[in-house]
A and B are shown apart, each in its own frame.
Chain A
Amino acid sequence: MAEPGGCASSAPLVGGDAEPALSEFSSPGRRASSFPSLDVPYRPLELPEAVSRVPRLPEVAEHDLVMHYTRLAHRNFAVDLGAYPLGSCTMKYNPKVCDWAGAHPGFARLHPTTPAHLVQGALEVLLETERILCDLTGMTRATFQPPAGAAGELTGLMIMRANHTANGDARTKILIPDSAHGTNPASVTLSGYEAVEVPSNHRGMVDLAALQRALDDQVAGLMLTNPNTLGLFEEEIIEIAEAVHEVGGLLYYDGANLNAIMGIARPGDMGFDIVHSNLHKTFATPHGGGGPGAGPVAVSGNLVRYLPGPLPVREEGGNIGWEMPSASIGRVHGQHGNFLVVLRALVYMRALGGEGLRRVAERAVLNARYLEHLLGDRYDLPYPSICMHEFVTSAKSIKHDTGVRAMDIAKALLDRGYHAPTVYFPLIVDEALMIEPTETQSRETIEALAAALVEIAELAYRDAEAVKEAPLRTPVHRPDDARAARNLQVTWAGRREE
């Protein structure tokens, strides 16, 4: 039988009492901090706007802090504890050598305004990572300023706008598939465009005929993830790109799913003009409980002039300086983006090399295909198409037959030592369970995860209440979301009146 592999059933996600808030450990006069005594002559300063009451921060000893945060850590699941098949999030194992690089004092201690000639190593990191990213995506140049995928989207859309405006051709609409990630339409609104949804066809891909009907001279561009959010490769991508280009629109590639195609296919070759990559998904920088990530934006040929700046540029003599692209949309971050995340990504890319990155894509797809295969017909497959690095399955029949919903299945997986898949996304699939095992899970883990999913499906038919009761082994059980929103308490100072 299969070994449990990435199942964290032994992980100390202990139940019992809640961890008190840090403020509850506070005792007046207790402290953790210490500073050298003032070694310059003291002089009274008459400051305007002087503080009247020092903020009521907790007063705790260092050991209080360490115990508190260690106990909090024990109440959290993570990739380093077990499998985390959260679809669209690419929760792969992040090599520790990348953490080492991200904390390297030779980079971490650099002030962002240090003149270029004194930070040549850092600028080399940016240029080198940019070159690999552009070679992988088939683009010309990239900016690392966008600190996350959504910031990359907004940047790309502003580049589209700048391009159309420069052509004297202000446009109003951006097309997005109905399966798109929520950041896509939100970014469209923030960039001053109107988001228009394009339906998917019965195979889970962009409906080319519907797309053609939606295309006109007001369409600034199309945003697409490929593989799309159903984990399916858009097989008509070449025709889609031609159709969008025909009306003068541009193609934006949402890099959320780049992990599936590294070294296999490139957005640039498919006809995309603008590409963002999620370094925190594909290039093994950890998610940190929600961030930081990095969402560099790469563009093809004539769009380079609109990139945010300044960009590092190699000057005559080999030194690297900063230069503003000629028609730059401006700055999208206070400094150079999430630089240390870029450094981590470079370490990952250089360790793996081109061959390793291609093997990552192969094994990410292999794991997803194998897991999908092992699930057989225990869950519904909403589309008949072949999946890439992730797949969307549905608990529609299970819900119909037993009343057990996708969320119940997700909670039951938590009890079995796995993180849950993404649920209820994409929105076009009823009772969606979006599963992305990633390449860093072993065959044994995939088999054990499949067995757990099958077992839960069988349990639903045998004893539906047992699934609906889940989770039982986690620190808390089904928190009351409605109450949280109704009796809003967002600080330990207590509820504030609206």
Chain B
Amino acid sequence: MAARRATRPAVHREDVNVDFTPHTDKDVAFMLEALSLSEPAGLFAHLPSGARLDHDPGLPESMSELEVMNMVDALAKRNRSDLICFAGGGYYDHYLPPVVSALTMRPEFVTAYTPYQPEVSQGVLQALFEFQSMVCEITGMDVANASLYDGATGAVEAVNLAVAATGRSAVWVSRGVHPRTRETIATFASARGIEVVEHNLVDGKTAWDDSAEPAPAAVIVAQPNYFGVIEDYGRAEAVAHAAGALAVASVDPMTLGVLRNPGEAGYDLAVAEGQPLGNPLSFGGPVVGLFATTAAHVRRIPGRLVGKTVDRDGNTAYVLTLRAREQDIRRAKASSNICTNQSLNALAAAIHLAWLGPQGLREVGEHSAQKAHYLADRLVELPGVELANGAAFVREFAITLPVDSEGVINAMAERGFLAGISLTGDYPDLPRNMVIAVTEKRSRAELDGYVTALKEVLAHG
């Protein structure tokens, strides 16, 4: 034994080969023999030679788990995930209770597929049914699907639904809708020849032009908008319905304990970036797109929909329903191409909403708004800093700085703050602007620290 150790290290590179397969060499040999093959390469002998890889593609060598974890830790150290977050724009740093991940990460939820076999998928189906129910409660709508990819792609699906419902091929979009969402709408609209007409903002609010052409399939407003401004729900709704279009609101779910919901405001469709519900910031994904509409449009809704029924014994059961809308049945005529969605993120959103309850949702909204106003009041005391508009806001607001906002954000990062989102690139007509988001999670010490840091940054130019 000793002699062997001297000539062979205990662990060889080939022993580190990780592939998570259970096959022993003996298994492989036995199975190959059953197939009358002598080596694994025989499994691919029928592939045409021109299609077979004839050289080493230069992929990395395998690593042990520990080495991979060290690699991930090293990469993570090159991210400033420690910055105190005042950036928003749809993605917010709210308090996320540990119960959400403890339940969401149960392997029965994590490692299940889309619930095609309802008999062994009641857990996921019921959880998604409850997600749909709670999304309807907060948006005031009749029906919500079982999730879309994110807020931006949710808005694209809203455009698709409206185009199908009205037979028109244009949409009107407020410039207060998230710039990334507007870009995503533009990408998909362009492929299908749908015209996007943007409507300008005046003092932070959308100044709808009733006489714009062509007639819209949908009128899309964000509530609150990208500047944090509370828009006039009634005005956008009236513009939409006078034009014969669907009224679409892109809402912020965490404000729905303090602001009225789009259903109450007469809207036909509500979409949302659902990240603040149950999901960490995640560098923007995976998050969850919320999509809810009125009963009138249920047969045009994109994606999965869970319905309640009974089984053959009369017991309550949940199934995927109205399947005839979906791509695997309707193929080229489907209401959407979506197949894989964001179920696990939807589950997290549902658990978080239930954890919050009505009181919690209201408190998050109120505390965030109180803290946002506290910070805004302190910031405008700094020389050269003012609110970018005179409109009302909840937990996010835009300020105008005396200097370029991108430089301020970089300088604030050196002081430990992710100060906000610069508007310079997206709104060239609004230079030196920055949007600041304040959640209930920010303490007074952090707010005061922010003010002190910004004061220093501005003083040092």
Contact = CB atoms under 8 A, between A and B. Distances in A.
A119 B111 contact: no
A498 interface: yes
Contacts of B444: 39-40
Interface stretch (A107-115, A206-214, A397-405): A107-115
A299 B241 CA distance: 43
Contact of A76 (B60, B112, B353, B356): B112
B143 to A, nearest CB: 5
Nearest to A489: B308
B368 to A, nearest CB: 10
Most buried by A among B76, B108, B306, B340: B340
A154 interface: yes
Nearest to B99: A62
Given A40-B447, A48-B392, A54-B362, A115 B410 contact: yes
A124 B75 CA distance: 8
B285 A57 contact: no
B282 A55 contact: no
Interface string A404-430: 000000110010000110100100000
A21 B134 CA distance: 12
Interface stretch (B209-217, B315-323, B382-390): B315-323
A490 B298 contact: yes
Contacts of B91: 111-113, 335
B307 A93 contact: no
Name the 6 nearest CB pairs between A and B, nearest first. Answer: A106-B76, A335-B284, A354-B59, A112-B284, A288-B344, A76-B123
A345 interface: no
Given A186-B336, A286-B111, A480-B310, 20 more contacts: A38-B367, A65-B351, A108-B280, A110-B81, A117-B410, A119-B283, A122-B75, A190-B188, A191-B191, A192-B193, A265-B47, A278-B340, A291-B147, A291-B344, A334-B287, A367-B31, A370-B34, A411-B117, A414-B117, A476-B317
Contacts of B89: 113
A58 interface: yes
Contacts of B30: 443
Most buried by A among B56, B68, B137: B68
Contacts of A99: 105, 110
A265 B53 contact: yes
B328 interface: yes
Contacts of A48: 230, 232, 392
A24 B259 CA distance: 26
B180 A43 contact: no
Most buried by A among B122, B124, B136, B223: B122
Given A289-B113, A292-B340, A238 B51 contact: yes
A97 B65 contact: yes
Interface stretch (A142-150, A243-251, A457-465): A142-150
Contacts of B99: 32, 62, 65-66
A1 interface: no
Contact of A266 (B53, B58, B65, B149): B53
Contact of B149 (A148, A284, A349, A365): A148
Contact of A190 (B60, B310, B337): B337
Given A108-B281, A238-B48, A308-B187, A70 B321 contact: no
Contacts of A74: 108, 123
B285 A54 contact: no
B9 interface: no
A52 B118 CA distance: 39
Interface in B13-65: 17-23, 27-28, 30-32, 34-35, 40, 43-44, 46-48, 50-53, 56-65
Given A60-B354, A484-B319, A50 B259 contact: yes
A301 interface: no
A33 B360 contact: yes
A442 B153 contact: no
A495 to B, nearest CB: 9
A31 B430 CA distance: 44
A84 interface: yes
B283 A112 contact: yes
Interface string B362-376: 111001011101100
Band of interface residues on B: 35 or more
Most buried by B among A54, A119, A280, A484: A484
B195 interface: no
Contacts of A105: 76, 81
B184 A332 contact: yes
28 contacts: A43-B370, A72-B127, A104-B72, A106-B72, A124-B78, A182-B339, A190-B191, A233-B46, A263-B59, A264-B52, A269-B52, A270-B51, A353-B61, A356-B17, A363-B28, A366-B32, A414-B117, A420-B117, A443-B23, A471-B119, A475-B122, A480-B310, A480-B317, A485-B322, A490-B308, A493-B136, A496-B142, A497-B295
B460 interface: no
B192 interface: yes
Nearest to A331: B183
Nearest to A29: B359
Contacts of A166: none
Contacts of B43: 362, 365-366, 369
Given A66-B103, A118-B79, A414-B120, A186 B321 contact: no
A375 interface: no
Given A55-B257, A235-B48, A135 B122 contact: no
Contact of B68 (A97, A191, A236, A336): A97
A41 interface: yes
A490 B120 contact: no
Interface string A344-371: 0001011111111101101101110110
A269 B418 CA distance: 45
B397 interface: no
A336 B126 contact: no
Contacts of B310: 479-480, 483
Contacts of B353: 57
Nearest to A226: B51
A471 B311 CA distance: 11
A380 interface: no
Contacts of A386: 46
Most buried by B among A114, A161, A441: A114
A55 B258 CA distance: 10
Interface in A306-352: 308, 329-341, 343, 347, 349-352
B121 interface: yes
A381 interface: no
Given A190-B188, A291-B344, A488 B108 contact: no
B77 A106 contact: yes
Most buried by A among B44, B184, B353, B444: B44
A107 B115 CA distance: 30
A110 B79 contact: yes
Interface in A209-243: 233, 235-238
A188 interface: yes
B313 interface: yes
A70 B282 contact: no
Contact of B63 (A51, A124, A151, A351): A351
